[in-house]
Amino acid sequence: MKEYHYIIVGAGLYGATFAHRAKQAGKISLVLDRRPHIGGNIYCENIEGINVHKYGAHIFHTSNKKVWDFVNSIVEFNRYTNSPVANYKGEYFNLPFNMNTFYQMWGTKTPAEAKAKIDEQKADAIAKMMAEGIEEPRNLEEQAIALIGNDIYEKLIKGYTEKQWGRPCSQIPAFIIKRLPVRFIYDNNYFNDKYQGIPIGGYNKLIEGLLEGIEVKCNVDFLKEKEKYEQMADKILYTGAIDEFYDFRFGKLAYRTISFEHELYEASNWQGNAVVNYTDADIPYTRIIEHKHFEMFGDEIERISKTVISKEYSTEWKDGMEPYYPINDEENNSLYMKYKALADKEEGYLFGGRLADYKYYDMHNIVEKALNVEI
Ligand code: UDP
């Protein structure tokens, strides 16, 4: 045996879950991360007693009991339920699309009234698709209009999506909008999953718990000293960007990145909700997060007289930035497949996580994958 069974590159959720399982299996690992902290994009910074999601809001949700029990065995989760509100030119709408949204949009009160209105709204789009012989929506615009009709598409989807992805909805894959439920009940819960919440005490508790008793080195750029580390471990789990691993030899994969303006205010409750989406194209940011609402409920909100909010701006990824969302369009997916073909043949390596798999994963997908991989 070499010095370590595993060197794990990346101390994010995938790497940390894998490291935890490897430890349970009696393996010795070294975890490396090039950032100055562990946790990847779920890392939080405590400001004035509030856990600030420095790399964007993360809400854990899953229907997989094994995943839920696993994360709760590391840290208990609270009962946070995500119910974002959309601000369209100063008008407020509930999300996801449900009876509250339909009432706010059209004044419909019963499911039958709302369904009739949506059928009327999407009739033109469906007739047009049928006339052109299109069986399946080919992009997000077609998918959204066929699902929910024109008014909601124009007010709550188009501007937000085009800001988030930096391209017209007609060039964005349809699967992205399938994340959002459409419901004919008065229910503002953004997710359909059985379980949902935020770790009590914040996400750092989850990562610290996963990595307990495991050697971790931050500020280490693995790719700069790859040969050295290869000598030190039987196997390496790489969770970074797959194109970077191969020195971009086939070209760069596209990502969206996010930049944040974090602001501290002298107010106990600034926007009344954790998430407010700004869905019109004229406002440059996509959403404002008020972090305390993820972990403070009822009277607790008033106990801290300050609040931290973050405005989220979405831009195309360039060198030196953190990649966030893979752009899973056809061009990038086929470029990824070229890298994957190399990775599949790579001796002594495992690859996993959002950046190595180049997939728009939620946290529960990551944990599930890391729980199922053979150690
Ligand atoms: N979306 C939208 N309007 C909204 C919120 C979401 O049209 O107010 C669509 C949009 O296409 C977006 C997708 O749903 O790309 C997923 O958005 P969400 O904010 O849930 O993604 P996250 O950034 O949280 O992964």
User: What dotted CATH number matches 4-73+195-249+326-372?
Assistant: 3.40.50.720
Is 167 annotated in the active site?
no
pLDDT of residue 124: 84
Choose the catalytic residue: 256, 290, 325, 336: 256
Residue 229 predicted with pLDDT over 90: yes
79 is catalytic: no
Q: Per mean pLDDT, which of 137-141, 178-182, 217-221, 323-327 is the most reliable?
A: 217-221
Q: Read off the pLDDT band of 186 (50, 70, 90).
A: very high
Ligand 1 atom 1 nearest Cα: 157
Ligand 1 centre from 182 Cα, in Å? Answer: 13
Which has the minimum average pLDDT: 24-33, 104-113, 205-214, 311-320? 311-320
Residue 125: the pLDDT is 83
Check residue 7 and give its pLDDT: 98
160 lines ligand 1 (CB under 6 A): yes
pLDDT at 253: 96
Averaged pLDDT for residues 248-272 = 96
Q: In the prediction, which pLDDT does 128 show?
A: 85
Judged against a pLDDT cut of 80, whether residue 200 lies above it is answered with yes
Model pTM score: 0.95
Please write the tens of the pLDDT for every residue from 57-109. 999 999 999 999 999 999 999 999 999 999 999 999 999 999 999 999 999 99
Question: Which residues of the chain form CATH 3.40.50.720?
Answer: 4-73+195-249+326-372
Residue 178: band (very low, low, confident or very high) from pLDDT cuts 50, 70, 90: confident
| Residues 300-329 pLDDT 10s | 999 999 999 999 999 989 888 889 999 988
Q: What is the 3-state secondary structure (H, E, C) of the chain?
A: CCCEEEEEECCCHHHHHHHHHHHHCCCCEEEECCCCCCCHHHCEEEECCEEEECCCCCCEEECCHHHHHHHHHHCCECCCCCCCEEEECCEEEECCECHHHHHHHHCCCCHHHHHHHHHHHHHHHHHHHHHCCCCCCCCHHHHHHHHHCHHHHHHHHHHHHHHHHCCCHHHCCHHHHHHCCECCCCCCCCCCCCEEECECCCHHHHHHHHCCCCEEECCCCHHHHHHHHHHHEEEEEECCCHHHHCCCCCCCCCEEEEEEEEEEECCCCCCCCCEEEECCCCCCCCEEEEHHHHCCCCCHHHHCCCEEEEEEEEEECCCCCCCCEECCCHHHHHHHHHHHHHHHHCCCEEECCHHHHCCCCCHHHHHHHHHHCCC
The finding on whether 98 has its CB within 6 A of some atom of ligand 1 is: no
